[in-house]
Amino acid sequence: MNEEAAKKLVERHAQRLPVDGQAGIEAARQGVSEVELVRAPAEGIPEVVSEYWQIEEVGRRLAKGRGPVAFDAERASGFTYSQRAYLVQIRREGAGSFLVDPVRSGDLSPIDSACQGAEWILHAADQDLPCLAQVGMLPDQLFDTEVAAQLLGLDHIGLAAVCEYALGKSLLKDHQADDWSKRPLPKDWLRYAALDVELLIPLRNKLSRALQLAGKAHWARQEMEAIRTAPPKEAPAEPWRKVPGAGKVRTPRGLEVLRQLWVERDEVARELNIAPTKILRNQAMVAASQAEATSRRQLLSIGAFREKRARTRIAIWARAARAAGRTAESALPKKKHSSGKGLPGRRQWAKLRPGSSERLEIVRFCVHSLADHLNIWQEKLLAPAAQKELAWAYNESKDVAEILEHAGARPWQVETIASLLDEALATL
């Protein structure tokens, strides 16, 4: 199938769908003519609460509120080893806004109990739900404003950008990447934190209406429920292979150096609750691995190991390097070539399964084109991993819908795109 024929096929398919992407994007923008900078919460900056009796009082006030509850959480990614929440922000109509320090209080179950049965509003919920679960908080219902923005096809999906587009309100984002484990938290940071939930309720209402008008409300429900009920992410079996630049390490001995350095660095980082890269840079580990450094002297010949952060613990890194040098050849890690869900690397597709690369190209073209027609982010229409699995597993005896379901596609995704991909692939 040539590109022109594929375009016509996508156009015909899009016209049959009960979706009006343009209506959704226009509804999201309706009433916005200019952008106003919101500098402070309308009711002032709430006091940070941290004692358990205060948490119980927050729970009582939230229980008397009405409607959905807005949540946000601040972590200290890049500063601490832990991915816990260092501040939780909450807002509900009729109750007001609250800033809660979960480090001292630990258990926030009184707040969780007060909010059960209500819809929780978060932006990028998959980032915050795990750390909220650590302090005893799990929603019964979820509305994710980032997911709504992706389904509506907004160009920019950060909270500040979505608020500007849909509400005409601009938020300061000065402290997004700061170290929230710091105590006491500066007033400017608390102002920023309170503003993160200030607009979530009106934003949810505006985006929800836009999804309804676009015919995408049931898409949103399925996507948000999938996030709410998602199991915890499994830790990779060999996390050291995820180090940026690990692909540059070509030899088994070099991979063993990388593994040993990663294990030592992770142990130190965990013990001190410091981000691993604050202790030893990834570039340093990769350079040592490429050089197959197995001694203190060889490590110190690498510039990154002469930096203060690395040299402070050079005895630890040298111990890891020596251990890598002593590992038997038969026990050295192997270079892996697989990519996601056990599929081979793309370079091998043509040899192992002729036609699979061509199928992937047509699948990608159809997904991208239909996403443009429907005003939706293409990865929300069908995840890249599912696109690959379909291209690899497809043959004329297999049902496209079944392959997509096996790949993790939601029912709305299968209903929206399976017949298009079936027709497109059948022409190859």
CATH of the domain at 307: 1.10.150.80
The Cα-based distances of 11 to 23, 371, 383 in angstroms read 18, 11, 21
Angle between helices 159-167 and 200-214 (to 10 degrees): 70
pLDDT digits (tens, 9 = 90+) for 220-252: 999 999 999 999 988 889 999 999 999 999 999
β-strands 66-74, 87-93 pairing: antiparallel
Asked if residue 401 belongs to a domain, the reply is yes
- pLDDT reported for residue 427: 87
Q: Which residue type is seen at 141?
A: Q
Q: What is the mean pLDDT of residues 129-156?
A: 97
Residues 209 and 77 in one domain: yes
pLDDT digits (tens, 9 = 90+) for 10-33: 999 999 999 999 999 999 999 999
pLDDT band, very low/low/confident/very high, at 181 (cuts 50, 70, 90) = very high
Structure tokens at 281: 């840079």
> Taking the chain, what is the end-to-end CA distance rounded to the nearest angstrom?
6
Q: What is the mean pLDDT of residues 48-62?
A: 96
Quote the pTM value: 0.93
Residues 350 and 323 in one domain: no
**Confidence check: pLDDT of 1 > 80:** no
Q: Which residues pair with 48 in a beta bridge?
A: 99
Residue whose structure tokens are 């056990």:
342
Residues 312 and 386 in one domain: no
Q: Mean pLDDT for the chain?
A: 95
Residues 94 and 202 in one domain: yes
Instruction: Indicate the number of domains in the chain.
Output: 3
Residues 198 and 270 in one domain: no
* pLDDT-wise least confident of 190-194, 204-208, 332-336, 376-380: 332-336
Element of type H or E holding 158: none
Residues 360 and 327 in one domain: no
Structure tokens at 7: 């375009």
Asked if residue 407 belongs to a domain, the reply is yes
pLDDT digits (tens, 9 = 90+) for 260-291: 999 999 999 999 999 999 999 999 999 999 99
Residues 43 and 189 in one domain: yes
Note down the domain range covering 267: 239-331
The Cα-based distances of 302 to 42, 228, 244, 266, 298 in angstroms read 54, 46, 18, 21, 7
Asked if residue 227 belongs to a domain, the reply is no
**By C-alpha distance, which of 90, 198, 72, 67 is closest to 129?**
72
Residues 258 and 287 in one domain: yes
Q: Which residue type is seen at 376?
A: I
Asked if residue 221 belongs to a domain, the reply is no
- pLDDT reported for residue 335: 83
Which of 154, 181, 214 is the last residue in one of the domains? Answer: 214
- pLDDT reported for residue 345: 85
Residues 163 and 301 in one domain: no
Residues 181 and 250 in one domain: no
- pLDDT reported for residue 339: 47
**Confidence check: pLDDT of 340 > 80:** no
Residues 80 and 38 in one domain: yes
β-strands 66-74, 119-122 pairing: parallel
- pLDDT reported for residue 336: 74
Q: What is the mean pLDDT of residues 79-87?
A: 96
- pLDDT reported for residue 96: 97
Provide the CATH number for the domain around residue 103.
Answer: 3.30.420.10
Asked if residue 253 belongs to a domain, the reply is yes
Structure tokens at 39: 């500098």
**Confidence check: pLDDT of 123 > 50:** yes
Residues 406 and 315 in one domain: no
- pLDDT reported for residue 341: 53
Asked if residue 8 belongs to a domain, the reply is no
pLDDT band, very low/low/confident/very high, at 391 (cuts 50, 70, 90) = very high
Q: Is 422 helix (H, G, I), strand (E, B) or coil?
A: helix
Asked if residue 46 belongs to a domain, the reply is yes
Structure tokens at 23: 């209506």
Q: Is the dihedral of CA 119, 120, 123, 128 positive or negative?
A: negative
Asked if residue 338 belongs to a domain, the reply is no
Instruction: Return the DSSP state at 306.
Output: G
pLDDT band, very low/low/confident/very high, at 156 (cuts 50, 70, 90) = very high
Q: What is the mean pLDDT of residues 205-223?
A: 98
**Confidence check: pLDDT of 102 > 80:** yes
Residue whose structure tokens are 């597709």:
349
> Strand (E) positions, 10-106?
36-38, 48-49, 66-74, 87-93, 96-100
Is the distance from CB of 160 to CB of 171 less than 8 angstroms? yes
